[in-house]
Structure 1
Amino acid sequence: MFWKEMWESHRGRLIGVAGGILFGSIYLIAGFWNMLFFALVVFIGYTLGKRKDLSQSSLVHWRELGQWLSSRWRPFK
């Protein structure tokens, strides 16, 4: 019951932290021991999951960025 309630109310955060732990663990196993980077990856996963839970907008506004880039840089004029 507890896990079901947690999953329903904090799904994005749980997925974000799990993803952060997974990618952080891969980095720690494959690379050298760098706990600050591991903590950063977990924090980023948590933050993205929290934004999904709260239905907030994306950190990067991709459509506006694409329009700005296409107006500023046209390689095939």
Structure 2
Amino acid sequence: MWREIWNTYWKRLIGVAAGLLAAIVYLAFGFWDMMFVALLVFLGYWFGKQKELSDGPVIPWQRIWYALLERFRPYR
């Protein structure tokens, strides 16, 4: 059963694990902002899910870079 879950959702699980690791590090230095911990776990899950659903990068840096170049081209 665990092997099937891992084979199906391994990218989401890695994302959640990364979020939990970041949350534990954050908790070691501060306890009161628990909403920040929930945000880290959610972001880890979301990035893992996005990576699972697409083969490309989660953040399309090249597309963002070209959009910025086109936006500021008249100012060169």
Q: The TM-score by the shorter chain falls in which range? A: 0.7 to 0.9
TM-superposed CA distance for 1:59, in Å, is 5.2
Match of 2:65 in 1: 66
Tell me the residue number matched to 1:16: 15
Q: Distance in 2 between matches of 1:23 and 1:55?
A: 24
Gaps of at least 5 residues in structure 2 are none
Q: Provide the identity percentage.
A: 45
User: Does the aligned pair in 2 maintain the 1:51–1:57 contact within 8 Å?
Assistant: no
Q: What TM-score do you get using the length of structure 1 for normalisation?
A: 0.78
Q: Does structure 1 retain, via aligned residues, the 8 Å contact 2:51–2:58?
A: no
The Cα of 1:51 is off from its aligned counterpart by 1.3
What RMSD over aligned residues (CA atoms) do the two structures have, in Å?
2.1
**Greater mean deviation of Cα atoms: 32-41 or 61-70:** 61-70
Equivalent residues in 2 for 1:43-58 (5 A)? 43-55=42-54, 58=57
Q: 2:22 is matched by which residue type in structure 1?
A: F
2:38 equivalent in structure 1: 39
TM-score between both structures, scaled by the size of structure 2: 0.79
Across the two proteins, how many residue pairs are aligned to each other? 74
Q: Which amino acid aligns with 1:20?
A: G
Residue segments in structure 1 that go unaligned for 5+ positions in a row: none
Shift of 1:69: 2.3
